[in-house]
Amino acid sequence: MRTPIIAGNWKLNNTISESLELVKGIHYGLTDVSGVEVVVAPTYTAISKVADFLKDSAIAVSGQDVFWEDSGAFTATISAPLLKDVGADYAIIGHSERRQYFGETDEMVNKRVKAALKHNLIPIVCVGETLEEREAEQVEKVVNTQLSGGLAGLTSEEIAELVIAYEPVWAIGTGKTASPEQAEEVHQLIRNIVASDFGQEAADKVRILYGGSVKPANSKELMSQPNIDGALVGGASLKADDFLGIIKNI
């Protein structure tokens, strides 16, 4: 059995006080919930305060990215040891916004994943096609390339521990969600790719989240698909009630 994960990616939103208000709303709303891992990824200015608040909570903290070097002359980035230092357990890697606006490549994703694993951070590795690529029937090719580049050189044991997020770029922040069938088709494809590259056991264990305009109204159907093991939520994770609704739906 794979324990589902609902992860909230706050992106570039919320001051420290807004972040604390949001995380308190989530924490106190979660009292009767079990069987699901809940993760929040605040901004770097708020992450330490949020992690302090969550110290005795079951909610885990994630970085929104992680650099591959531990320290040194690398202005404006964040490393795995620094994320561990604030109490983070996860790191989102290769989000489409990083790929689109910051030139992230699969090779960089791969280096980040290795750095995260080396320091016991669980990578949430994002893959997904653009609308153009979907219309050109390139979904399989794109996802395959992103996975083989991003996960190159990892062991089956490492793959079993990490998390993959399928986030069709055309569904992120657009209000357009992949239908449960469309999403399930790609999730199955991802699991098959993992099985052929890393073995069936890793494929059975790796958790594959769906991301892209997930909200309480559509999450139940998406999350009930056999190969969808949770969600990476952007916009709807900024409102405690919506995020709690998604968590409770699972």
For ligand PGA, the closer CB: 142 or 202: 142
**Helix ranges (DSSP H) in the chain:** 16-29, 47-53, 80-86, 96-102, 106-118, 131-135, 139-150, 156-161, 180-198, 200-205, 216-223, 240-249
For ligand PGA, the closer CB: 174 or 196: 174
Q: What CA–CA distances, in Å, run from 107 to 7, 93, 153?
A: 24, 12, 11
- Does 117 interact with ligand PGA (rule: CB under 6 A)? no
- Does 213 interact with ligand PGA (rule: CB under 6 A)? yes
- Does 62 interact with ligand PGA (rule: CB under 6 A)? no
Pull the structure tokens for residue 83: 């994320």
Segment contacting ligand PGA by CB under 6 A, of 115-123, 143-151, 167-175, 181-189: 167-175
* # binding residues, ligand PGA (CB under 6 A): 13
Q: Which of the residues 27, 37, 95, 129 is marked catalytic?
A: 95
For ligand PGA, the closer CB: 46 or 236: 236
For ligand PGA, the closer CB: 110 or 213: 213
Q: Which of 211, 244, 246, 250 binds ligand PGA (CB under 6 A)?
A: 211
Q: What CA–CA distances, in Å, run from 250 to 35, 141, 222?
A: 9, 30, 9
- Does 123 interact with ligand PGA (rule: CB under 6 A)? no
CB closest to ligand PGA, residue no: 234
- Does 108 interact with ligand PGA (rule: CB under 6 A)? no
Adjacent-strand bridge partners of 63: 91
Q: Determine whether 187 is an active site residue.
A: no
The contacts of residue 18 (CB under 8 Å, 6+ apart) are none
**Whether the Cβ atoms of residue 210 and residue 232 lie closer than 8 Å to each other:** yes
Q: Which of 94, 123, 128, 212 binds ligand PGA (CB under 6 A)?
A: 212
DSSP state of 185: H
Counting every residue written for the chain, the total comes to 250
The residues of the shown chain that bind ligand PGA, judged by CB under 6 A, are: 9, 167, 172-173, 211-214, 232-236
